[in-house]
Structure 1
Amino acid sequence: MNHEIRPPARYAVIFTSQRTATGHAEYAAMAERMEHLARLMPGFVDVESVRGNDGLGITISYWTDLAAIKAWRDEAEHREAQMRGRSEWYRWYHLRICEIASEVKFSPES
């Protein structure tokens, strides 16, 4: 049972992408680094990420406010990763920022 105390998420950044067939090791290292950096940012709450064998992926990061999302967007190493993503790692991507209106959790272990 996890009793970690953290601020409630008010916003979700939904990043849907289709990977290219190149640079898997470099991409994985950069993705790990970006998650580490995001977790250090004020206003960060959590992240969930999945990627299929076909390269289609969805990453959802949760934030307390829009200012925190903007600060993450503008973080220097994240900017570098964004540029490399457009030039090397993604065939396409779609980014959405959504305000969370409601949240329901279920866990039979709790």
Structure 2
Amino acid sequence: MSAQNLPNPPYYAVIFINQRTEDDEEGYGMTADRMVELAQQQDGYLGIESVRDDTGKGITVSYWKDMDAIQYWKNSVEHQDARAKGKLDWYQDYQLQIAKVEHGYRWIKN
């Protein structure tokens, strides 16, 4: 399910705000793609959206059915390895927030 087709609330959003270093661009991109692929296979995964500006600041929001799904994703060994590599090489700074989505809507111009 893409982030554009989320179910009716409630569900959870994991908000990951980060500042990239200039190190290992290729390795970062391959790992980021792998993390999306892996997350999509997790029970309770609902979708993801991600943007990055020219300065390297990025925001990724992943959507999950419940806190158990988020915890399972956090404990994934491959995800843990990627987070460790991020701290070591890819991120200058990051923060993570988890929010329960109680209400939402979407408008699309025709």
Which TM-score applies when normalising by structure 2? 0.91
Partners of 1:8 and 1:45 within 8 A in 2:
no
Q: CA RMSD in A?
A: 1.8
Tell me the CA shift for residue 108 of structure 1: 2.7
Structure 2 residue ranges without an equivalent (≥5):
none
Distance in 2 separating the partners of 1:5 and 1:49: 15
Tell me the CA shift for residue 15 of structure 1: 0.1
Off by >6 Å, runs of 4+ in structure 1? none
Distance in 2 separating the partners of 1:38 and 1:71: 10
Structure 1 residue ranges without an equivalent (≥5):
none
Residue aligned with 1:85, SS = helix
Distance in 2 separating the partners of 1:35 and 1:102: 25
Report the identity percentage: 37
In the alignment of these two chains, the number of paired residues is 107
Q: Which amino acid aligns with 1:90?
A: Y
Tell me the CA shift for residue 101 of structure 1: 1.6
Distance in 1 separating the partners of 2:60 and 2:94: 11
Which TM-score applies when normalising by structure 1? 0.91
Q: Residue 12 of structure 1 aligns with which residue? A: 13
Distance in 2 separating the partners of 1:100 and 1:91: 29
